[in-house]
A and B are shown apart, each in its own frame.
Chain A
Amino acid sequence: MVALRLMYALAVLAAPLFGDGGAVLSRQESGPFVITVFAPLPIRAGPVDVTVLVQTRSALEPVLDANVSILLDGVTQIATRSQAQNKLLYAATLNLPHPGEWNYTVCVKSSAAQVVHATFSRVSSIPKTNAAEAACTVAIFGSFQAAEPAPPLAAYTFYLAIPPVLIAIFILHQWLSRRSAPRRIAS
């Protein structure tokens, strides 16, 4: 079974350069599941890719047939494996409108359907015990700090640096060409 799952994972994974999520934000055991939440660090206000790994508690096998939904300020985001680059994970892009401290709740229904809910809410705006959590049979909690969003241009420094770098290389190229030109004529 493990070998089959591994083969399945190898077959369907179309992993690009880096996997999802970045660092482990939280890993907690709850009910029949072990739930791990990943997020890129530092978390900044704006779009954030959050990924969730759900494993069975007994064998630590990845649960691949769960339905994952993430709530942010009352808006439900569906996290799916199709959105994840690593197909062992469930991914969704959350939009954090402000920097500051955020609570999150990953909520797992231990029913046969294995429905997993993750709710994200601002500390100041929504209390932890909301309706979504109340519906959960098992839940894990945590919090993180969202920093100020990165200025958009700074995120593209590499691409903006290309013209000056290439112009510098071109100037060097011309200098070398001119330096070697008289020698060739003389020779």
Chain B
Amino acid sequence: MIFALLVSAWIYVRGWRQLHRQMPSRYPINRLILFLSGLGAIFIALASPLDAFGNLLLAAHMVQHLLLLMIAPLLILTGQPVLPLLRGLPHDVMKDGLGPFLRWRALRNVGGALVGPVFAFCAMSLAVIFWHLPRFYELGLRSQGWHQTEHACFFFSALLFWWPVVDVWPSHSRTPRWAIIPYLLLADLVNTGLSAFLIFSKHVVYPTYEFAPRLWGISALGDQAIAGGIMWVPGSIVFLVPAVAVAMKALDSGRAIRPPSRVAQRKPNPPRKPWDLLRTPILGPMLRHAYFRRAAQAVMFLLAAAIVADGLFGPQVSAMNLAGVLPWTHWRALAVLALLIGGNFFCMACPFTLPRDFARRFLPARRLWPKQLRSKWTAVGLTVLYLWAYEAFSLWDSPWWTAWIIVGYFATALLVDGLFQGASFCKYVCPIGQFHFVNSMVSPLEVRVREPKVCGSCQTHDCLHGNARQRGCELYLFQPKKAGNFDCTFCLDCVHACPSDNVGILATLPGRAFGRLARLDVAALVLLLVFGAFVNASAMTVPVIQWMNEWQARLGFASRAPIVAAFYFVGLFIPLALVCVLSRPRWRDPGITFSLTLVPLGFSMWIAHFWFHYLTAWSAIVPAFRIAWVASSNMQVPAWWPPVEILLLDAGLLLTLYLGWKIARRFTPWAILAVLLYAAGLWILFQPMQMRGMLMS
């Protein structure tokens, strides 16, 4: 709820700033203060200590209801929220997303009827009376779900009730203003009747409070009388003050006749530019600093060195070793989080390319990467090998092997980039890089040009070729033609090289560049990582592990590796089959593009998987650093995590379906595939999981 309040405040402030520039007289600063105060009243009612006392004291509960019925809606509507909330939304969302609904005449008619005085009065009065009947009030006290429903009924019916009173702009109430006076007086009558019933009742109306522990010696009947008093006196004031104000306004004929000025002096808003991370106050200059990347890489390099040292010479218990904890629990979770909220920041701070950069002063690196290997097929093969080896040899549980993998990574990066020009290792070999390239296609930030017109007049193409003071893109990405984040390491070489300062890290729409990546090798890589997400996560569920153990015993194998290989073959057979189908000319182009739309679903599964491990085992960092021995910390999944996992999968499915629909309206087989993957993901999430890399009690 706090998140919803913050988002509402943010949208309102965004819209209010624009309207304040255009219509300062209609949207002065006090509108903003009133709206934010209304949100504050909701916060006090639902997320403050007041709510904690609600189950113990009827008076506290009544204050809560007063805030939801009278204070919060009145303040929010006085802030004239319609236009600021619409203008505060991203332009495309408002125009293309909400536009058709706002233009829908039937919906407008329904909205008009809802805020008509007859319906609005009945709605709020009925909600108040209904929920104060002992049977339903008790229901709300006993069940969280019904309690939330009760509060929602109060708040939304009150919004309807106060709408004609405030006469929210730009809607026009057909009700004459004088009619608002009896409208408010009638509502006060209902309020008075209910509060008098509570005050003068000889018995406790709500049994819960009769049996609830009494705080500070307040009897249940006394508490009930106080609650009635709160409802009566402040409640009546809230109804009567606006009635008096409306009456005085009506009597002031000059003001009553004059219609509200609809057109004020409008100042045009400056054209909108996408949000640019490099132009943010503190982070922007920091990221642009010439040595920022080197510093980040140095930190990661030191961590990698510590992992290698501990993995080779430390205790061979993964939960007590940096090589068991940092890469498999912390790094993976933080890397996918960075992809989710930003972009490919791991490659920006990649430790493997740091020694390579220094070694290049001595190594030739003159050759070109072989033409036959200029595709993602090498990386596809290495990724398959990695996924299989991870499971077959339980790499997460072997600090020694983990250390050697990291050493091997450094050596390979040094060898490949010591011999070949550019960043051939990153582009064609590194499986970690491919994982980040693919999933950063749905990241919200992208390194791209700020003003395409500026690039049109550029002759030198420094972002690609570099100049005397800065090298160009080592992955040969030409900024004006770059396809999203794919193959981009966020190294910011292009940012430093551009003489016009025309490259930034801009906000973008996920999957914007899918249409420009129609290559079979890219599709194969994507399908591998999407299906790999589900296969990799399912391999840690108890049913799958039992199934593997059963087959191992049945076939009499000493090692689990062949069974894992068979499992991975079955799991990855589907993407391989799809790749075969896609390679046929007839299916090739649409199939390749559609396969890219599965990226969001696969990414959501990777996040759910990695963050499950992180949330259950983050505390293993403590024994790994030998700070203290934690024999069995509380390794339970937090209660909020399963809903978040489902929400992630929901978002992945919806984005996949949306991107598929955007490419072509007829995509039923791909939609079915996406729904099947979503169902498989749900099944995996609800299975008991093997706790890896954790110290169990």
Q: Please report A residues at the B interface, Cβ cutoff 8 Å.
A: 2, 6, 9-10, 13, 15-19, 21-24, 27, 34, 36, 40-41, 53, 55, 59-62, 85-88, 152-153, 156, 159-160, 162-163, 166-167, 170, 173, 176-177, 180
Closest 7 pairs (CB-CB, A-B): A13-B49, A15-B52, A176-B100, A86-B52, A159-B646, A36-B213, A19-B52
Report the nearest B residue to A178, measured CB to CB.
B100
Query: Contact: A55 with B686, CB < 8 Å?
Result: no
Question: Which of A53, A60, A173 lies in contact with B101, CB distance below 8 A?
Answer: A173
Question: Does B149 touch A at the CB level, under 8 Å?
Answer: no
Instruction: Give A61 to B56 CA distance when docked, in angstroms.
Output: 13
* Given contact pairs A9-B49, A18-B147, A23 touches B208 in the complex (Cβ within 8 A): yes
* Given contact pairs A24-B212, A55-B213, A163 touches B47 in the complex (Cβ within 8 A): no
Question: Which of B148, B213, B653 lies in contact with A53, CB distance below 8 A?
Answer: B213
Question: Does B580 touch A at the CB level, under 8 Å?
Answer: no
Report the nearest A residue to B96, measured CB to CB.
A177
Report the nearest A residue to B214, measured CB to CB.
A60
Dominant SS at the A interface? mixed
What are 20 of the A-B contact pairs (CB < 8 Å)?
Answer: A13-B48, A15-B50, A16-B1, A16-B47, A18-B147, A19-B52, A23-B208, A24-B211, A27-B212, A34-B213, A36-B212, A41-B143, A59-B217, A60-B216, A86-B52, A159-B646, A159-B650, A162-B650, A163-B653, A173-B97
Between A15, A21, A59, A166, the greatest number of chain B beta carbons within 10 A of the residue's beta carbon is seen for A15
* Given contact pairs A24-B211, A60-B217, A173 touches B47 in the complex (Cβ within 8 A): no
* Given contact pairs A18-B51, A152-B686, A176 touches B103 in the complex (Cβ within 8 A): yes
Query: Contact: B216 with A61, CB < 8 Å?
Result: yes
**CB neighbors of A among B82-132 (8 A):** 96-97, 100-101, 103-104
Instruction: Give A38 to B141 CA distance when docked, in angstroms.
Output: 12
Question: Which of A6, A40, A173 lies in contact with B100, CB distance below 8 A?
Answer: A173
Q: How far is the CB of B4 from chain A (nearest CB, A)?
A: 11
Residues of B within 8 A of A87 (CB): 52
Query: Contact: B148 with A17, CB < 8 Å?
Result: yes
Report the nearest B residue to A59, measured CB to CB.
B217
Question: Does B54 touch A at the CB level, under 8 Å?
Answer: yes
Residues of A within 8 A of B103 (CB): 176, 180
Q: How many A-B residue pairs have CB under 8 A?
A: 102
Query: Contact: B148 with A23, CB < 8 Å?
Result: no
Query: Contact: A177 with B100, CB < 8 Å?
Result: yes
Q: How far is the CB of B670 from chain A (nearest CB, A)?
A: 15
Instruction: Give A42 to B265 CA distance when docked, in angstroms.
Output: 61
Q: How far is the CB of A141 from chain B (nearest CB, A)?
A: 17
Instruction: Give A15 to B657 CA distance when docked, in angstroms.
Output: 39
Residues of B within 8 A of A10 (CB): 49
Question: Does B456 touch A at the CB level, under 8 Å?
Answer: no
Question: Which of B48, B144, B214, B647 lies in contact with A15, CB distance below 8 A?
Answer: B48
Residues of A within 8 A of B658 (CB): 170
Q: How far is the CB of B323 from chain A (nearest CB, A)?
A: 34
Residues of A within 8 A of B654 (CB): 163, 166-167
Query: Contact: A167 with B147, CB < 8 Å?
Result: no
* Given contact pairs A59-B216, A60-B216, A153 touches B147 in the complex (Cβ within 8 A): no
Instruction: Give A162 to B211 CA distance when docked, in angstroms.
Output: 39
Residues of A within 8 A of B642 (CB): 156
Taking A60-B217, A159-B647, A170-B658 as given, write out 11 further A-B residue pairs in contact, using a Cβ cutoff of 8 Å, ordered by the A residue number. A9-B49, A17-B46, A21-B55, A22-B142, A23-B141, A36-B212, A40-B144, A156-B643, A159-B650, A176-B101, A177-B100
**CB neighbors of A among B640-657 (8 A):** 642-643, 646-647, 650, 653-654, 657
Q: How far is the CB of A159 from chain B (nearest CB, A)?
A: 4
Residues of B within 8 A of A159 (CB): 643, 646-647, 650
Instruction: Give A166 to B658 CA distance when docked, in angstroms.
Output: 11
Report the nearest B residue to A10, measured CB to CB.
B49
Q: What does the 1/0 interface line of B53-64 toward A look like (CB < 8 Å)? A: 011100000000
Residues of A within 8 A of B214 (CB): 60
**CB neighbors of A among B178-209 (8 A):** 208
Q: How far is the CB of A71 from chain B (nearest CB, A)?
A: 18
Q: What does the 1/0 interface line of B10-25 toward A look like (CB < 8 Å)? A: 0000000000000000
Q: How far is the CB of B56 from chain A (nearest CB, A)?
A: 8
Q: What does the 1/0 interface line of B204-229 toward A look like (CB < 8 Å)? A: 00001001111111000000000000
Instruction: Give A159 to B50 CA distance when docked, in angstroms.
Output: 28
Instruction: Give A2 to B643 CA distance when docked, in angstroms.
Output: 40
Report the nearest B residue to A38, measured CB to CB.
B55
**CB neighbors of A among B617-673 (8 A):** 642-643, 646-647, 650, 653-654, 657-658
Residues of B within 8 A of A61 (CB): 216
Instruction: Give A159 to B608 CA distance when docked, in angstroms.
Output: 15
Residues of B within 8 A of A16 (CB): 1, 47, 51
Instruction: Give A62 to B17 CA distance when docked, in angstroms.
Output: 48
Query: Contact: A15 with B212, CB < 8 Å?
Result: no
Instruction: Give A87 to B678 CA distance when docked, in angstroms.
Output: 40
Report the nearest A residue to B2, measured CB to CB.
A16
Residues of B within 8 A of A160 (CB): 646, 650, 682
Instruction: Give A146 to B641 CA distance when docked, in angstroms.
Output: 25
Question: Which of B1, B49, B101 lies in contact with A17, CB distance below 8 A?
Answer: B1
Instruction: Give A16 to B147 CA distance when docked, in angstroms.
Output: 13
* Given contact pairs A27-B212, A60-B215, A17 touches B47 in the complex (Cβ within 8 A): yes
Instruction: Give A176 to B686 CA distance when docked, in angstroms.
Output: 38
Report the nearest B residue to A54, measured CB to CB.
B213
Q: What does the 1/0 interface line of B273-312 toward A look like (CB < 8 Å)? A: 0000000000000000000000000000000000000000
Query: Contact: A15 with B47, CB < 8 Å?
Result: yes
Query: Contact: A22 with B208, CB < 8 Å?
Result: no
Q: How far is the CB of B623 from chain A (nearest CB, A)?
A: 23
Report the nearest B residue to A18, measured CB to CB.
B144
Query: Contact: A156 with B48, CB < 8 Å?
Result: no
Q: How far is the CB of B35 from chain A (nearest CB, A)?
A: 22
Instruction: Give A95 to B650 CA distance when docked, in angstroms.
Output: 30
Q: How far is the CB of B620 from chain A (nearest CB, A)?
A: 22
Residues of B within 8 A of A55 (CB): 213, 215
Question: Which of A22, A27, A36, A162 lies in contact with B144, CB distance below 8 A?
Answer: A22
Between B141, B143, B213, B686, the greatest number of chain A beta carbons within 10 A of the residue's beta carbon is seen for B213
Query: Contact: A2 with B216, CB < 8 Å?
Result: yes
Query: Contact: B49 with A41, CB < 8 Å?
Result: no
Residues of A within 8 A of B51 (CB): 15-19
Residues of B within 8 A of A53 (CB): 213
Instruction: Give A166 to B655 CA distance when docked, in angstroms.
Output: 11
Instruction: Give A183 to B626 CA distance when docked, in angstroms.
Output: 71
Instruction: Give A39 to B47 CA distance when docked, in angstroms.
Output: 21
Instruction: Give A49 to B572 CA distance when docked, in angstroms.
Output: 43
Report the nearest A residue to B138, measured CB to CB.
A23
* Given contact pairs A16-B47, A159-B650, A27 touches B213 in the complex (Cβ within 8 A): yes
Instruction: Give A163 to B646 CA distance when docked, in angstroms.
Output: 10
* Given contact pairs A159-B646, A160-B646, A23 touches B142 in the complex (Cβ within 8 A): yes
Q: How far is the CB of B664 from chain A (nearest CB, A)?
A: 14
Residues of A within 8 A of B101 (CB): 173, 176
Instruction: Give A159 to B604 CA distance when docked, in angstroms.
Output: 15
Residues of B within 8 A of A163 (CB): 650, 653-654, 678
Q: How far is the CB of A176 from chain B (nearest CB, A)?
A: 4
Query: Contact: A180 with B100, CB < 8 Å?
Result: yes
Q: How far is the CB of B693 from chain A (nearest CB, A)?
A: 24
Between A16, A21, A34, A59, the greatest number of chain B beta carbons within 10 A of the residue's beta carbon is seen for A16
Instruction: Give A176 to B106 CA distance when docked, in angstroms.
Output: 11
Instruction: Give A156 to B644 CA distance when docked, in angstroms.
Output: 11
Instruction: Give A111 to B212 CA distance when docked, in angstroms.
Output: 26
Residues of B within 8 A of A152 (CB): 686
Q: How far is the CB of A131 from chain B (nearest CB, A)?
A: 24
Residues of B within 8 A of A6 (CB): 216
Question: Which of A36, A60, A167 lies in contact with B657, CB distance below 8 A?
Answer: A167
